[in-house]
Structures are given as structure tokens and as C-alpha cells.
Chain A
């Protein structure tokens, strides 16, 4: 177990170094960084001097190492566009994205799992068929379309919910939250639903197919033959056995939700990291793009690590190593 964690941590470091290399390469190969920093009328000598002070004349390896060390310390450099530390910009934007993403994935889990269980138990029921049909829409409609349609209905026609922004936010130290004000919560509803819908249908369909699989197994039949109540069989025995794939997918999806909240954030003018990234791409603001890349990679690595640890919590076959298969007496 301990060796496993160490091994996974080393792998994670390797992944992060690779990502850092790609981010670092962005600086070198997307045009000359000096050109991005200075005006057209800067003299060659000034450029040379700047090159020297920025360390751009050192070998690539030295520069890469310096980049890795700085990044690890959280120093992503200055935004070309805004002339502010990228770190500060990220910290401002991160709460918005994380709140939206986490609320969305929770929404997806707490609605998707029960719906998946329901549709697997009442496979031929009317409601189950409706759920399955709706899930087809959720899985096939593009996110931005759902967002725009929600805005049209609830924002423009019914005027119940704000169509853009985050509403009022409250600062808790460096973290700004929209979860504590009414307008913040109202502003969160539509983006969260938009972002959650696809994940929800994915989780629902996953739970359904896993449940159908598990319900056919011998241990479920044996549990029924022992007279255990339906609740104990379906939720105690069957649902727990579907958890491993559900945890895997949910973890991966949380990563994707954070990374690809971009579209939803654009539709709802949500002041998160995704929108910052889109703006950075438009402005060729490489420090911001590189920092975003590293940060998203870090999220994925951490989430995957947590997912692996959750396997251990769920499945005793992984937990107990060796343990002896016990000879027959």
C-alpha cells in the first residue's frame, strides 16, 4: 500500500515534469518571447540586455530547470497582456471555476446515481424509459446549446435567473465565494446545470449498465435466496459493487469539468479560469496559457491519485496483499 503510493507519486512527478516541458516549449517556439515583451522601437542592444537579464541566453536545459523550479514555487511569471503576476490572476479566477465544477459534479452524482439505480431496477418501467430518453438528449446535445437554451427560457423569457456573471461574492480570505449570497446562488444555477447535464447522463448510464451487470451475478442471486430485503440487496450489495467504475469515471470527469468549463464559462460570462484561458489564447498571452496548462495537469494528477486511493477503500481485494488464500481443511 505504502509502496504503491510512493510509486504513484513518482509517476505523478514524471507527468508534471513532462507537462512543464510542453508549457516551457510554448515560450520557446511560439515566437520570440522578447518580441512579446518590448515595443517595436526597442534597440538591438536593449533587446540583447533584456535577453541576458531574463536568462534567455542560457542553455535550454538550464532554462527548463529554472522554469520547473519557478513553477513549482507557484511563480508563473508575468502576463504579457495584463502586466500582472499570473499567479495572482489564477488565484482570482480559480474559486469561480472550482465552485462551478464541484457543484456540477456533485449535482451529476447525486442525481445521476439514483437515476441510474432506478432505471436498472425498473428496466421496463415507464419512468425509466423516460429517463433513458432524456439522457440521450443530455449526452448528444452540445453544452453551449443547452446553455443558450436555458438562458433563453429562464433568463430572457421567464426572467427568473441572471443570464451572466457570478452575482455578488463574499471574500473568505483570498477565496471569493458566490455560495453565500442569494444572487450568487441564483447565478450558479444555470451554469451548474449546463455543465452537469452531460456528466449526469454519463453517470446515470454508467450506473445503470453496471447495475444490470451486477444484478445478474451469483452473489446477488444468493443474497436474494438468503431472504435479504430488496433494499439491502440493491443498495448494500449491488450498488457498492458498481462503485469502482463509477469512481473512476467521476474522477476523470471532474478533471474534464474543471478543464472544459471553458465553454460553459464563455456562454455564461463566468469569470473563471476557462475564460481567462480563452482570452489568453486570443492575446497569445503565453505565460497565462502555460500556467493554465500546468494547473489543469496538476488537478488531473491529484484527482487520479485520489481515485486510486478510493479503490483501496472500496475493494478489499486490493487492500489486503497476500493474506493467504487459505488452504482447504
Chain B
């Protein structure tokens, strides 16, 4: 791996060679295959990819909530230098919520319909912090204020069904922030929301994490959200990282042919195009991932080597990219493509 061991010393979260498998009757499916990345303190790392690329599974694996039969087959996960992927359930439970918060996709189903917002907040606060009922309620109120619930003092005793989708996602964010975690894993936090509310939620999340110095792993398939919020972005394809680097660099000079196609498919305001570029074909299903580079059947620049040998992450500019076009160091994506 191109990443040096020393980087994991300062990293808040280090994932090393993570492999997630699903044993089935028809053999083992590899959903996430040998991925490594770091998240620095206070950093927002966007993880982008199509459905089934393994982004959400990676998030679930980090907090130890992979649904059986899914399991971590190989690899290591470090939180502030401490290995957490082999911890017993009870110890990992204490990390969840306390050190790693989580935000889920659908705010309409993320809250227990039978308990008031207050009860759910207080329960979570008291699980992690030594506060009495009155202190916990005061903290819950402060959190609701912070996430922008208007007249929080009145609404704290309301039930989830009395809140709109956007408001519920704010409550979910408050729940994730209950114990001031160092890292939040946000799994498609805006996908289920109205477009007009998505931007509010993203800027709220970004602002809060900036204030609290909280790092975020922002899982999404929305490049707009990534461009808006992320510092760095990891592009996933078929359970592997295709490209990872600073968000502006990845967007402006996409290196991996897949990323390039992904960027080409986003319309730009002010640029008139008759037809958006598209990547032909679909991401292979887990049991049909081809040998070599998983993208090779859809890649216009694929060579015989791509069909046989799996590319490793190569450093290119400030990014790293898993593509044979970048094996010779120093070539940029543009040059590589021009050379074809």
C-alpha cells in the first residue's frame, strides 16, 4: 500500500486492507475487497460510489454492526491508534455513540416511534455520560437548539411523528452528537430528504463538525454533496477504492476512467450540453466481478493487462488511483489519456 504506516499515527481512523465477505450457499461473496484509507481529526471524507459498491458496508464494519452473515474477513481498523475491529461486543458498544456517532439514511424510520425525542436523547446521553436526569435533559435541549429545532423547549417532549423529515434528520444528528464523538459516520444522510432540505442538512452537519472538531465519513452517491462538504473523497467501485484524493483535485482532474466518467455525467449550470456522457453498462454483481481491474469491461482504455492484473493504488499528484494507466509515476490522467 502506498500509505505509510506513520500516517495511521496521526489519523483518527485508519482502515487497513479491509475485506468484507458474505458466505452464501453459492460460495463466498466479497463485498469489500482490500481497502485502506485514513480519516484525519476534523476531516470530512466523502465516500462515493454506486449502490453495492461497498460504501455503507465499510461504515457498518467500522462501528461493528455488519449484519450477519456479513463479516470482516481480513484487515484492521484503528481508532486513534487503538485496534477496534477485534474488540468484544461490549467494549465496541461503548465506542459506538461515545467516540463514533452514526447518522442513517432515512430519518423517518431512524427514530423509535413510541418514545419522545426527549426520552431518546436522554437515554443516549446517560448511556455515555455521567449526568443525572435534569442535566441530561438540559443537554438534550442544548443539542436540539444547536441542530436548529425551533422552540426546542416545547418540542422536546414531542414524538417523532410530529416532526417533518428534515426536522427528524436534525434530531438524528443531535442523537449522533450526544456524547461529542470524534468521528461521525453519516450513511446517505440526505438521500431520503427533499432537495431543498438536503443543502440545509449538509451545511448544518458541516458547520457542527467544524465547530466541534468532529471528523465525518460521509457516505453518499451524490457528487454534489461531496463537492459541497468533503475535504477529501474516496471513489469506490465494486468493493474497491478506485481513487482517493482532495476533493477539488478529484473533481477537476479525475484520474481513474471511472471517476472521469462519473464527473462527465454531472451537468454543469451554465454549460449547455445536448447529451450527458454516460458510462455504458452497469457495475458487476458481486458474484461476477471480473479478474484484473473490476472496471475493465466498461473501460474504454482497458488493455489486456487490465483484464488480468489487479491495479494497486498509485500516487498521482496529491491523489491515489488504482489504475494501470498510472503505473509510471508522474503521468497525469490527462497525459495518460492523450497517450492512448
Contact = CB atoms under 8 A, between A and B. Distances in A.
A217 B105 CA distance: 12
B113 A329 contact: no
Contacts of A221: 65, 104
Contacts of A7: none
A323 B97 CA distance: 31
A173 interface: no
A224 interface: yes
B25 to A, nearest CB: 16
Given A323-B162, A329-B167, A226 B127 contact: yes
A328 B162 contact: no
B128 interface: yes
Given A224-B96, A323-B158, A329-B150, A219 B163 contact: no
A323 B163 CA distance: 10
B123 interface: yes
A218 B189 CA distance: 13
B172 interface: yes
A224 to B, nearest CB: 6
A100 B162 CA distance: 44
B65 A225 contact: yes
Nearest to B108: A218
A222 B159 contact: no
Interface string B120-156: 0001100110000000000000000000111000010
Contacts of B114: 240-241, 314-316
A320 B97 CA distance: 30
Contact of A227 (B112, B128, B166): B128
Contact of A316 (B113, B176, B179): B113
B175 interface: yes
Contacts of B175: 222, 226
5 contacts: A221-B104, A225-B102, A228-B124, A228-B127, A241-B113
A324 interface: yes
Contacts of A82: none
Given A219-B113, A226-B127, 11 more contacts: A224-B93, A225-B96, A226-B96, A227-B94, A229-B127, A232-B123, A317-B159, A317-B161, A320-B162, A326-B158, A327-B164
B63 A225 contact: yes
Interface residues of A, number: 30
B110 interface: yes
A225 B109 CA distance: 14
- Which of A226, A317, A329 has the most chain B CB within a 10 Å cutoff? A226
Interface in B175-198: 175-176, 178-179, 197
A289 B155 CA distance: 56
A120 to B, nearest CB: 14
Contacts of A227: 93-98, 124, 127-128, 179
A222 B94 contact: no
Contacts of B178: 226
B159 A328 contact: no
Interface of A: 217-219, 221-230, 232, 236-237, 240-241, 314-317, 320, 323-329
B106 interface: yes
A232 B155 contact: no
Contacts of A314: 114
B112 A226 contact: no
Interface residues of B, number: 45
Contacts of A329: 148-150, 167
A320 B116 CA distance: 12
B111 interface: yes
B67 to A, nearest CB: 9
Contacts of B172: 222
Interface string B80-108: 00000000000001111110011011100
Contacts of A222: 102, 104, 110-111, 172, 175
A231 B154 CA distance: 30
Contacts of A320: 159, 162
B164 A325 contact: yes
A314 B232 CA distance: 46
Given A217-B109, A218-B109, A316-B113, A328 B197 contact: yes
Contacts of A315: 113-114
Contacts of B127: 226-229, 232
A328 B102 contact: no
- Which of A219, A224, A327 has the most chain B CB within a 10 Å cutoff? A219
Nearest to A319: B159
Contacts of B159: 316-317, 320
Nearest to B185: A225
A229 B126 CA distance: 11
Contacts of A236: 123
Contact of B102 (A226, A316, A323): A226
Contacts of A232: 123, 127
Contact of B112 (A219, A224, A323, A327): A219
A73 to B, nearest CB: 43
- Which of A223, A237, A240 has the most chain B CB within a 10 Å cutoff? A223
Nearest to B159: A316
A270 B149 CA distance: 62
Contacts of B110: 218-219, 222
A322 to B, nearest CB: 9
The 10 closest A-B pairs by CB, nearest first: A227-B97, A225-B102, A227-B96, A218-B109, A328-B166, A226-B97, A316-B159, A219-B112, A222-B110, A328-B164
A312 to B, nearest CB: 12
A88 to B, nearest CB: 46
A194 B114 CA distance: 35
A236 B119 CA distance: 11
Contact of B97 (A228, A237, A240, A316): A228
A236 B105 CA distance: 23
A228 B98 CA distance: 10
Nearest to A244: B114
Nearest to A222: B110
